[in-house]
């Protein structure tokens, strides 16, 4: 693991931090590889149920490291995309904790997450056209699926910055916190997710993401292939027993 990506674990939550504060956490090759390695390692561990992605030093991510780009240090991992994340299949829920700026590739990393918690002072934007570039890490594909078409077009074509409050109004940001409290808010939400049965959470995420492209006549068949094993799991029996016995469930991920 690179020093440019830090991982801390607590109570079933892993916090993945982009650690290049002097560069506003711009993503270079080391960051991309570090995120990919972290997610791969954590996805294999049953005791970790959810992730939080954040940035060090009061900002989330300013996008691609343009200086690195000029020297051929590309911030991508083959098969995983920008930041080792935007094209990756992440099995467990991923919560973005946004302070400061989430711009260009930083915004695209946030869009690759399942939930977004942002400080009231956070700013979002896709300024690539101002630099002769295109938001090719999922931004211009994901954004119009998350917010109204014309507003997505405005954000993508102007390259301007937009406050977290506006994106909260549009339903893109889940929660707004006081400045400096986005990470705490994201961890709180991640803990709520992690308190649930891990197999059920993973299956739910998989169905929500993949079902968007399923034909109507095949939806329930495809869903069944994913969720039926959950109903036959030990955790399903434990959930029913815990309810009947009026106690907290003890999940095993089995």
- Just list the catalytic residues: 108, 128
Q: Who's near 163: CB < 8 A, 6+ residues apart?
A: 122, 123, 124
From CA 82, how far away is CA 148, in angstroms rounded?
A: 25
203: Cα within 13 Å, side-chain hemisphere: 21
Q: Give phi and psi for 116, each to the nearest 5.
A: -125, 125
The candidate with the shortest Cα–Cα distance to 47, out of 194, 228, 200, is: 194
| Torsion sign, CA atoms 22, 27, 33, 37 | positive
The candidate with the shortest Cα–Cα distance to 51, out of 96, 5, 110, 3, is: 96
């Amino acid at each position: 693991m690179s020093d440019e990506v830090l991982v801390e674990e607590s109570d079933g939550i892993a916090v993945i931090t982009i650690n290049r504060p002097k560069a506003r956490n711009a993503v270079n090759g080391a960051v991309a590889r570090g995120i990919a390695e972290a997610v791969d390692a954590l996805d294999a561990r049953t005791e970790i149920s959810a992730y939080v992605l954040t940035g060090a030093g009061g900002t989330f991510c300013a996008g691609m490291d343009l200086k690195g780009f000029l020297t051929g240090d590309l911030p991508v991992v083959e098969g995983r995309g920008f930041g080792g994340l935007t094209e990756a299949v992440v099995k467990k829920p991923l919560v973005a904790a946004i302070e400061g700026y989430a711009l260009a590739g930083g915004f695209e990393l946030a869009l690759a997450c399942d939930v977004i918690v942002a400080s009231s002072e956070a700013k979002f934007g896709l300024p690539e056209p101002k630099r002769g570039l295109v938001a090719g890490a999922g931004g211009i594909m994901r954004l119009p699926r998350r917010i109204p078409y014309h507003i997505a077009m405005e954000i993508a074509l102007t390259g301007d910055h937009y406050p977290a409050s506006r994106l909260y109004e549009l339903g893109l940001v889940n929660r707004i916190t006081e400045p400096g409290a986005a990470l705490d808010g994201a961890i709180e939400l991640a803990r709520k997710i992690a308190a649930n049965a891990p197999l059920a959470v993973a299956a739910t995420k998989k169905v929500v993401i993949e079902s968007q492209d399923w034909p109507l006549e095949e939806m329930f068949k495809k869903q069944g292939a994913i969720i039926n094993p959950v109903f036959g799991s030990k955790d399903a029996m434990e959930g029913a027993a815990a309810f009947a016995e009026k106690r907290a469930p003890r999940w095993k991920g089995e």
